[in-house]
A = this chain, B = another copy of it.
Amino acid sequence: MNRRNFVRSSVASGIGLSMLSVPNLVFGKDDRKVNLGFIGVGMRGRNHVRVAGARPDVVIKAICDIDPNSIQEAQKVLKEVGQTNVATYTQGEDDYLRMLERDDIDAVIIATPWLWHTRMALASMKAGKFTGVEVSAANTMEECWDLVDVHEATKTPLMILENVCYRRDVMAVLNMVRDGLFGELVHLECGYQHDLRNVKFNDGKSAYGKGVKFGEEGFSEARWRTEYSIHRNGDMYPTHGIGPVAHMVNINRGNRFDTITSVASKARGLHKYIVDQVGEDHPNADVAFRMGDVITSLIKTVNGETIMVQHDTNLPRPYSLGFRVQGTEGIWMDLNQSIMIEGVTSPPDEWQKDTELMEKYDHPLWKKYGEKATGAGHGGMDFFLIQAFVEAVKNNEPAPIDAYDAATWSSITPLSEQSIALGGETMQFPDFTRGRWMNSKPQFALSNA
């Protein structure tokens, strides 16, 4: 019985993955391989194909996409990284279900438009595949619950592929937090502040090209992402910010998001972008955008920390995830890459460049693999993301960022939307762990393994 069959039958028979033994570990040479399938090989998916495919412990068995061009580009990448004999699934929107029927695939990575994340992740878990899903994992509250419920019913791990959790500075700061450098945490900030106007619109032929096309006429993300700015007024992309911060305050592991209130500014940026390029008479100048340009949410945790989360993608601005980590003994902000720790940095009450402390608290994972990671894309984050995913699959471990994280972080989207619609009303977070958060322990990136 090979691993994949063992996994499937153990799922069928209700044995948790965490109970599986890992026989290879007791021998010296680790020649275990993980067989992967990919749903979605657009720009983001191909990045994962490249990073995963380059690993000696990964065999890519299949890729799936409805877009022939994406498949063609993915095949070039597969060739580059030496992955041969890869099946393709291209027969329409539901062909991923056929791919999931293969019993030579251990794990699946999903990098598709948001509309498909949850439904594909559910199908993948039901097929017994260790499932990695891109961010956000879900866009409605029902989908958040679906992720948790199907994960619990199938006992199949779900990992939300939040790469910023592996950013070098973010991991170093997590290390500082765990070492008590900030004292007791009190207030944190984060967000997704990224001028996406040339992602939401293009010329229909290339990404980041000028042009005001979107939807069926658009290219890449403009094909599907822009419609969320038309139809929904909420924080549609909270996880790059909230993921790292959630680890620092142990959300779902002794702590929990309690409430959220959100406000949205007026919506001006996208309409102006269209008019500036093609004038008031172009039909796209009549499109009404519901999404406020800057959406600010305030989360309170049951342990008393406050967290500010922002979504700011429709205006000209420098990229920033706006991290701030503040406790009883110090504060760090990524905007100015500065830190102040009482009794550690000096002079008191002044920002110091965070360089020295970043080096000192460099996470063991980065210390060990940093050189290898560099060049893998996104400043090396994606190397660690894929490594964590592959190692968890190999070792039959729970996902290091799990279904509860996926549901909790993603639920900021519907909750912020509801709060805004109700004029800033306070919304309660569901307890996706159904009480288990009280006794769960932190598990993310505790060592260099």
Residues of A participating in the B interface, judged by any CB pair closer than 8 Å? 183-184, 186-187, 195, 259, 261, 263-266, 268-269, 272, 292-294, 296, 298, 300, 303-306, 308, 312, 315-319, 326-331, 333, 335-336, 340-342, 348-351, 423-426
> In the complex, how many angstroms separate the beta carbon of A286 from the nearest chain B beta carbon?
18
Closest to A268 in B: B328
8 Å CB contact of A304 from B184, B266, B272, B423: B266
Residues of B contacting A348 with CB < 8 Å?
316
Contact A298 B424, beta carbon cutoff 8 Å: yes
Residues of B contacting A316 with CB < 8 Å?
328-331, 340-342, 348-349
Contact A304 B265, beta carbon cutoff 8 Å: yes
Residues of B contacting A298 with CB < 8 Å?
261, 263, 296, 298, 424
Number of copies: 2
8 Å CB contact of A306 from B294, B328, B342: B294
Contact A183 B272, beta carbon cutoff 8 Å: yes
C-alpha gap A423/B264 in the complex (Å): 19
8 Å CB contact of A265 from B187, B318, B329: B187
Contact A328 B315, beta carbon cutoff 8 Å: yes
Q: List 16 A-B contacts (CB under 8 A).
A: A186-B265, A186-B269, A186-B315, A187-B293, A187-B296, A187-B312, A261-B424, A265-B300, A266-B305, A269-B328, A298-B424, A316-B328, A316-B342, A318-B340, A318-B350, A335-B335
Closest to A347 in B: B318
Closest to A428 in B: B423
Residues of B contacting A351 with CB < 8 Å?
318
With A318-B340, A424-B298 in contact, is A328–B272 under 8 Å at CB? yes
Closest to A305 in B: B265
Closest to A352 in B: B318
Main secondary structure of the interface of A (DSSP, over half): loop
Contact B423 A349, beta carbon cutoff 8 Å: no
C-alpha gap A265/B350 in the complex (Å): 23
> In the complex, how many angstroms separate the beta carbon of A258 from the nearest chain B beta carbon?
9
Closest to A297 in B: B298
The 3 nearest A-B residue pairs measured at CB:
A266-B304, A187-B294, A424-B426
C-alpha gap A259/B426 in the complex (Å): 14
8 Å CB contact of A294 from B183, B319, B326: B326
With A266-B304, A316-B349, A348-B316 in contact, is A186–B326 under 8 Å at CB? no
8 Å CB contact of A315 from B261, B263, B293, B326: B326
Contact B329 A308, beta carbon cutoff 8 Å: no
Residues of B contacting A265 with CB < 8 Å?
186-187, 300, 304-306
Contact A300 B424, beta carbon cutoff 8 Å: yes
Closest to A294 in B: B187
8 Å CB contact of A326 from B317, B326, B328: B317
Contact A349 B195, beta carbon cutoff 8 Å: yes
Closest to A331 in B: B317
> In the complex, how many angstroms separate the beta carbon of A307 from the nearest chain B beta carbon?
9
Contact A266 B186, beta carbon cutoff 8 Å: yes
Contact B186 A294, beta carbon cutoff 8 Å: yes
With A187-B293, A296-B306, A306-B294 in contact, is A319–B426 under 8 Å at CB? no
Contact A261 B261, beta carbon cutoff 8 Å: yes
> In the complex, how many angstroms separate the beta carbon of A27 from the nearest chain B beta carbon?
50
Residues of B contacting A317 with CB < 8 Å?
326, 330-331, 340, 349
Contact B303 A266, beta carbon cutoff 8 Å: yes
> In the complex, how many angstroms separate the beta carbon of A355 from the nearest chain B beta carbon?
16
Contact A259 B424, beta carbon cutoff 8 Å: yes
> In the complex, how many angstroms separate the beta carbon of A345 from the nearest chain B beta carbon?
10
Residues of B contacting A269 with CB < 8 Å?
186, 328
11 other A-B residue contacts (CB within 8 Å) besides A187-B294, A316-B349: A184-B268, A186-B315, A261-B263, A263-B298, A265-B306, A294-B306, A315-B331, A316-B342, A317-B340, A318-B349, A425-B425
Residues of B contacting A306 with CB < 8 Å?
263-265, 292, 294, 296
C-alpha gap A184/B266 in the complex (Å): 10
C-alpha gap A269/B300 in the complex (Å): 18
